[in-house]
Amino acid sequence: MPSYKLNVNNTEYTVEAEADMPILWVLRDLLNLTGTKYGCGVASCGACTIMIDGNAAFGCQRPVASCVNKKIITVEGLSADGSHAVQKGWQKAAVPQCGYCQPGQMMAAAALLEKDKNPSDDAIAAAMSGNLCRCGTYHRIKEAIHYAIEELKH
């Protein structure tokens, strides 16, 4: 089985996996980073959203072989102490109900704010459109992103 060197949450890992194994399963099963969730497996729900080189990506569709020499950030990599602006916004807006989709939602928001520190509501809606929430907390997700925007200004 081939081995791959990965940079995940600013830590270097070497994993043995088939080239087409989705990075989602590498993260969860081989690296024990279980914050990233499996939802649909077909890139329709966004529960598996991670950042790869600063861009939101669906982990269920990204083969591990394509992640070599990339910077991968999972929800665990935002900050260990909850100090990332998105984490603070999520807490302030009390976003989660069941919480299952929230890691993917947070990663989509973090990727957006990495590129645009003050996005419009239309830009927020577009960036978050690939992430579904069965509990319907969309209004709180938007509120949390606005809290994160304010946090980034300070």
Residue 125 sits in a domain whose CATH number is: 1.10.150.120
120 and 93 in a common domain: yes
73 and 122 in a common domain: no
53 and 26 in a common domain: yes
Q: What are the Cα distances from residue 24, in Å, to 38, 84, 148? A: 7, 22, 26
Total H helices, total E strands in the chain: 5, 5
Work out the pLDDT band at 77, boundaries 50, 70, 90.
Answer: very high
Q: Is the pLDDT of residue 64 over 90?
A: yes
Q: What would the pLDDT profile of 99-143 be if each residue is shown by its tens digit?
A: 899 999 999 999 999 999 999 999 999 999 999 999 999 999 999
72 and 102 in a common domain: no
- 124: Cβ contacts below 8 Å, ≥ 6 apart: 112, 142, 145
Bridge-based pairing state of the strands 71-73 and 3-8:
parallel
Taking residues 83-91, what's their average pLDDT? 98
73 and 91 in a common domain: no
Q: Is the pLDDT of residue 154 over 90?
A: no
Structurally, the chain folds into a number of domains equal to 2
> pTM value?
0.96
Q: What would the pLDDT profile of 15-54 be if each residue is shown by its tens digit?
A: 999 999 999 999 999 999 999 999 999 999 999 999 999 9
Q: Given 49, 77, 105, which residue is the final one in a domain?
A: 77
130 and 68 in a common domain: no
What pLDDT, on the 0 to 100 scale, is given for residue 74?
98
- Give the amino acid at 150: E
Domain region containing 16: 3-77
Give CA–CA dist 58/46, Å, rounded: 6
